[in-house]
């Protein structure tokens, strides 16, 4: 009737909690799932939940989860109608999107052109400017780096004003990033950042941007069908350690209504400019004192922290991704999206805050999480707890991948309520066998600074210093 192409079998090209998450929605919708696993994940929880499993290579991600040929080949071999790439790995990889298109398989995400525009930070910045979004003062370092034209780079940094941030054009996640506080450090920072970026993303290009010391990281969730774009509100992800988010919440606390509306409108404007199709997130750096904001980047995939948005909207973002991938127009108008309550998510990672957050792989001997109360979350009313995880007692945490074990999401009628629910929920979590950041997370959410709301991205580093490095002494 709607010209949609019904998805009957989806290849889930990811691992961990997001694989469990995607499989859950597919199962609810009656869509068969085929999961790609590396040798290290053959016995994992998502592998047991999926209808079928395909091994795509050895444990190192480069040979399995990051292999475009292996993933596209698995999609064809499995007879999958579509590939859901989750987040990370190949989720924003234009080559995979093209390989899928060539094989007649739907890539659940934006088209290759948009992925390229979003994945290249410099290109994204140009699009943001074209869409009328404010960006931080900055510009590209000429290819060849400082050696090519040292004077030009130094002049660019001077024009921006110190401190400046050196950023990789081709990737994210904190790699290829350097803060430079004075001209003397510029040459080395550009060199290191470029080398790091080259190693991590195969793209040594870097650019300079003004470094804002006291900003908040606020992002806006978008849904688009290529014609129409709507937003699902904002999230505050300012509790970060070296650009890795640890706590996220929705809506961003203490934001002036006008500023919030401008953020939403800016994100939608960029989505419209890109004729965005799928779920995506526009990230902003927000200077709340001056009520100003700057475009940071656009993530063309589902985010780790999407559950806080789901908790206050009652929507299933993965289901919306699947509907868009089936070629349907958006099922919601902006007016259909309503917000109720407040939600906060804590990431529980297998890492040791006492040893500079060193990853802690191993075998989990005990994993206790609070019972979920999904009806409250789904219906958009009342208190609720949701736990998205892929670990149980007996699960192994391989050393090859990121250390996320679980996301504990709490929802309350307001932020105070959500904090109370979260405190109770974290109190009922117990994970043995690997070291986790659970104690640190309990400490942060009990901290008066966090409880007041609206912390900046420098908050966690200061808190860790005050708490004695790992937060365990709070």
Catalytic (active-site) positions: 301
Beta bridge partners of 224: 229, 278
Q: How far is the CB of 326 from another protein (least distance, A)?
A: 9
The site string for another protein over 272-311 (x = CB under 8 A, - otherwise) reads: ----------------------------------------
Scan for tokens 């995880």, then name that residue. Answer: 389
Q: Report how many helices (DSSP H) and strands (DSSP E) the chain contains, helices first.
A: 17, 23
CA distances from 165 to 161, 290, 349 (A): 10, 21, 27
Q: How far is the CB of 323 from another protein (least distance, A)?
A: 8
Residue 2 within binding range of another protein, rule CB under 8 A: yes
Stretch that binds another protein, among 40-48, 198-206, 252-260, 378-386 (CB under 8 A): 378-386
379, burial (CB in 10 Å: exposed 0-12, middle 13-18, buried 19+): exposed
- Token output for 361: 């792989």
What are the b/e assignments for 33-45, b being 16+ CB within 10 Å? bbbbbbebbeebb
The site string for another protein over 15-54 (x = CB under 8 A, - otherwise) reads: -------------xxxxx----------------------
Residue 79 within binding range of another protein, rule CB under 8 A: no
Q: How far is the CB of 385 from another protein (least distance, A)?
A: 15
Stretch that binds another protein, among 63-71, 99-107, 178-186, 374-382 (CB under 8 A): 374-382
The site string for another protein over 192-231 (x = CB under 8 A, - otherwise) reads: ----------------------------------------
DSSP 402: -
Residue 5 within binding range of another protein, rule CB under 8 A: no
Q: How far is the CB of 1 from another protein (least distance, A)?
A: 5
3-state secondary structure of 405: strand
CB 218 within 8 A of CB 286: yes
* Residues listed for the chain: 474
- Token output for 353: 């805050």
Q: How far is the CB of 381 from another protein (least distance, A)?
A: 6
Looking at the Cβ atoms of 385 and 438, the one nearer to another protein is: 385
Beta bridge partners of 411: 343, 384
Scan for tokens 């993965």, then name that residue. Answer: 318
Residue 380 within binding range of another protein, rule CB under 8 A: yes
Binding another protein by CB under 8 A: which of 272, 328, 362, 383? 328
Tell me how far apart the alpha carbons of residues 391 and 46 are, in angstroms, rounded to a whole number.
Answer: 9
Looking at the Cβ atoms of 155 and 430, the one nearer to another protein is: 430
Residue 161 within binding range of another protein, rule CB under 8 A: no
Residue 381 within binding range of another protein, rule CB under 8 A: yes
Tell me how far apart the alpha carbons of residues 42 and 48 are, in angstroms, rounded to a whole number.
Answer: 9
The site string for another protein over 442-461 (x = CB under 8 A, - otherwise) reads: --------------------
CB 344 within 8 A of CB 311: no
Residue 331 within binding range of another protein, rule CB under 8 A: yes
Q: What is the CA radius of gyration of the chain?
A: 21
Looking at the Cβ atoms of 175 and 328, the one nearer to another protein is: 328
DSSP 66: T
Positions touching another protein (CB under 8 A) are 1-2, 4, 6, 8, 28-32, 323, 328, 331, 374-375, 378-381
């Amino acid at each position: 009737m709607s010209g949609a192409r019904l998805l009957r079998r989806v290849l889930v090209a990811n691992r961990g909690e997001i694989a469990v998450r995607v499989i859950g929605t597919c199962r609810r919708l009656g869509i068969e799932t085929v999961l790609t696993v590396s040798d290290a994940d053959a016995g994992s929880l998502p592998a047991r939940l999926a209808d079928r499993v395909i091994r795509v290579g050895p444990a190192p991600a480069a040979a399995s989860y990051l292999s475009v040929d292996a993933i596209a080949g698995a999609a064809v071999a499995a007879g999958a109608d579509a590939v859901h790439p989750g987040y990370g790995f190949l989720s924003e990889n234009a080559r995979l999107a093209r390989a899928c298109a060539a094989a007649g398989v739907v890539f659940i995400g934006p088209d290759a052109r948009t992925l390229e525009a979003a994945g290249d930070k410099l290109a994204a910045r140009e699009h943001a400017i074209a869409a009328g979004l404010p960006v931080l003062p900055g510009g590209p370092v000429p290819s060849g780096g400082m050696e090519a034209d040292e004077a030009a780079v130094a002049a660019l940094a001077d024009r921006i004003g110190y401190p400046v941030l050196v950023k990789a054009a081709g990737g994210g996640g904190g790699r290829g990033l350097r803060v430079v506080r004075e001209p003397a450090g510029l040459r080395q920072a550009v060199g290191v950042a470029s080398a790091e970026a080259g190693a991590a993303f195969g793209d040594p290009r870097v650019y300079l941007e003004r470094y804002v010391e006291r900003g908040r990281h606020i992002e806006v969730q978008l849904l688009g069908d290529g014609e129409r774009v709507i937003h699902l509100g904002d999230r505050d992800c300012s509790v970060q350690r070296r650009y890795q988010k640890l706590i996220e919440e929705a809506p961003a606390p203490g934001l002036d209504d006008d500023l919030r509306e401008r953020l939403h409108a800016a994100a939608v404007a960029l989505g419209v400019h890109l004729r965005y199709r799928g779920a995506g997130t526009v990230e902003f750096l927000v200077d709340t004192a001056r009520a100003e904001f700057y475009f940071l980047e656009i993530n063309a995939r589902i985010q780790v922290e999407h559950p806080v948005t789901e908790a206050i909207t009652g929507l299933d973002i993965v289901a919306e991704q699947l509907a868009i991938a089936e070629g349907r127009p958006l099922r919601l108008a902006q007016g259909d999206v309503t917000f109720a309550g407040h939600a906060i998510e804590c990431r529980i990672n297998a890492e040791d805050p006492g040893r500079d957050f060193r990853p802690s792989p191993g075998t989990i001997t005990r994993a206790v999480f609070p019972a979920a109360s999904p009806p409250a979350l789904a219906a958009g009313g009342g208190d609720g707890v949701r736990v998205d995880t892929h670990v149980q007692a007996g699960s192994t945490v391989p050393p090859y991948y990121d250390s996320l074990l679980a996301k504990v999401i709490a929802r309350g009628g307001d932020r105070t309520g959500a904090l109370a629910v979260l405190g109770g929920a974290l109190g009922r979590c117990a994970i043995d066998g690997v070291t986790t950041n659970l104690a640190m997370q309990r400490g942060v959410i009990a901290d008066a600074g966090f409880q007041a709301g609206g912390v900046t991205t420098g908050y966690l580093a200061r808190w860790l210093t005050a708490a004695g490095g790992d937060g365990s002494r709070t």
